[in-house]
Amino acid sequence: MKTVFNVLLGLISCLLIYICYASVMGPINFDKEKKNRDKEVVARLIDIRKAQQEYRMLNKQQYTASFDTLIDFVKNGKIPFVAKEGVLSDKQLEDGMTERKAMALINKAKKTNNWRDVEKAGLMNFKRDTMWVSVLDTLFNRNYPADSMRYVPYGGGAQFEMGTRNDSTASGAPIYLLEVKTPYSVYLNGLDPQEIINLIDVQQKLNRYPGLMMGSLDTPNNNAGNWE
């Protein structure tokens, strides 16, 4: 009987030790895995931001709310790249020369075949040529999985929530807003449910979005991420 009691006591002691260990290591392991997942989700959000900024430059400053449109732009679109040769000297800048004025003189000379003003301005070695280059090769790389841009890492097929809003200031100036986000409940799915609940509760009490978000449909913020 005494042996059985000792065995039971030993098992209970082991169980208590395990419970204490789990209570300490559980939150530590959760935070470690959360940081790993945060990193991958943030990287995807930054890729979306880069693509949207270039898309906007070619579409009257407006973003797109469609991942189909954005992904097609990344895979098949082209953006301008200015190849530069030569720079304006301090003397030229002091005399009021700008790159726009320099190119106007050069373009005029090309049309008239009269290079006298270009020579006089010291611009014979000044060139600015615009080339159109692949979005995929320029912003990312040829092997970048553009089709995966819409999906939240660890989200089990869930897509980012992406929206746009076009508005104007009181003076009538246009404002173009973009917001891309995903909640903790999506990309932390599979981790300790209570830790996720606690995390969401803290963010809600602080009046913050309970997840990772880039940009805002409420306030212009230059597409900053809430992790920055």
Listing DSSP states for 82-102 in one string gives EEEE----HHHHHTT--HHHH
Query: What is the average per-residue pLDDT within 60-74?
Result: 97
- pLDDT tens for 156-200 read 999 999 999 998 888 888 999 999 999 999 999 999 999 999 999
pLDDT band (50, 70, 90) for residue 4: low
Residue 42: Cβ within 10 Å count: 17
Specify the pLDDT at position 23: 52
Q: How far apart are CA 59 and CA 51, in angstroms?
A: 12
Q: How far apart are CA 54 and CA 78, in angstroms?
A: 10
Structure tokens at 221: 């913020």
Residue 103: Cβ within 10 Å count: 14
Nearest CA among 226, 192, 196 for reference residue 212? 226
56 within 8 A of 62, measured Cβ to Cβ: yes
Task: For tokens 């008239």, name the residue.
Answer: 112
182 within 8 A of 212, measured Cβ to Cβ: yes
- pLDDT tens for 153-167 read 999 999 999 999 998
149 within 8 A of 71, measured Cβ to Cβ: yes
**Residue 120 DSSP SS3:** helix
Query: What is the average per-residue pLDDT within 50-54?
Result: 96
**Residue 80 DSSP SS3:** strand
pTM over 0.85: no
Query: What is the average per-residue pLDDT within 109-121?
Result: 91
pLDDT band (50, 70, 90) for residue 131: confident
What average pLDDT does the structure give for the chain?
Answer: 89
Number of helices and strands in the chain (H, E): 8, 5
Exposure of 146 in the CB half-sphere (CA atoms within 13 A) = 21
Specify the pLDDT at position 62: 96
Q: How far apart are CA 147 and CA 151, in angstroms?
A: 8
